[in-house]
Amino acid sequence: MSEHETTSEGMGEPTRRDFLYLTTGMAGAVGAVAVAWPFIDQMRPDASTLALASIEVDVASLEPGMSLTVKWRGKPIFIRNRTPEEVEAANAVQLADLKDPIARNANLPVDAQATAVDRSGGKGKENWIVMIGTCTHLGCVPLGQAGEYNGWFCPCHGSVYDTAGRIRKGPAPQNLAIPTFSFLSDTKIKIG
Ligand code: FES
């Protein structure tokens, strides 16, 4: 071992190997920052995504008995202004007769029961139904004002929903889901 090498190590100066290691470490850190930025940038929703986060639907033209399907976050949303007879038909059902006794209403606690009012637009708005129009069996879009209960009928495998969108017959396991929604006025519904 030469005198020079002994002195260098003894003074704690970085060896050539240490130096290469540090340089590589720095390049790695810079690289990580450069990669992270575009990634974070991509995670920001663009304007069109934000616009779809919630929608407002004017339902002024929906007379009792009429329905409308709108698209929200890529899903069909059924909005129906039920007739008094349709509301009454939903009221007359006993919870014990339901295949799925849970409301499946995103505006209520997860264990809320599938009463006629908790499946509707709420007290004073019982005539309104707002639901995600996706069959809870395998995701087909059920037909409205159809089926044995004059609610919705899914022709894919024969699931029958009542006028409150509750599953009554067929292979679907759950009531049609109710999304987050609120009434901005008597004729305007915000979904999402
Ligand atoms: S997808 Fe609706 S019954 Fe199968």
Q: How far is the CA of 141 from the centre of ligand 1 (A)?
A: 8
Around Cβ 35, how many Cβ atoms within 10 Å? Answer: 9
pLDDT of residue 18: 52
CA distances from 116 to 35, 95, 106, 126, 183 (A): 53, 9, 15, 8, 18
State the pLDDT at residue 11: 47
For the Cβ of 156 lying below 6 angstroms from any atom of ligand 1, the answer is: yes
Return the residue whose CA atom lies nearest to atom 1 of ligand 1.
Answer: 138
Residue for token digits 């009463």? 115
Ligand 1 site, residue 151, Cβ cutoff 6 A: no
Ligand 1 pocket, residue 138 CB under 6 Å: yes
Q: Would the CB of 179 count as within 6 Å of ligand 1? A: no
> How far, in Å, CA of 69 to CA of 49, rounded?
20
- Three-state SS at 1: coil
Rounded distance from Cα 23 to ligand 1 centre (Å)? 61
pLDDT by residue, tens only, the chain of 192 residues: 444 444 444 445 555 555 444 444 444 444 444 455 445 545 555 555 555 689 999 999 999 999 999 999 999 999 999 999 999 999 999 999 999 999 999 999 999 999 999 999 999 999 999 999 999 999 999 999 999 999 999 999 999 999 999 999 999 999 999 999 999 999 999 999
C-alpha 137/C-alpha 35 separation (Å) is 42
| pLDDT attached to residue 77 | 97
Q: Side by side, which strands form the sheet with 181-185?
A: 55-58, 188-191, 181-185
* Ligand 1 atom at minimal distance to the Cα of residue 159: 3
pLDDT at res. 14: 52
The residue nearest atom 3 of ligand 1, judged by CA position, is 157
Torsion of CA 9, 11, 13, 17, to 10 degrees: 10
Cα gap 142→168, rounded to integer Å: 14
Which pLDDT does position 6 carry in this prediction?
A: 41
Which atom of ligand 1 approaches the CA of 171 most closely? Answer: 3
Among candidate residues 108, 110, 133, the one with its CA nearest the CA of residue 121: 108
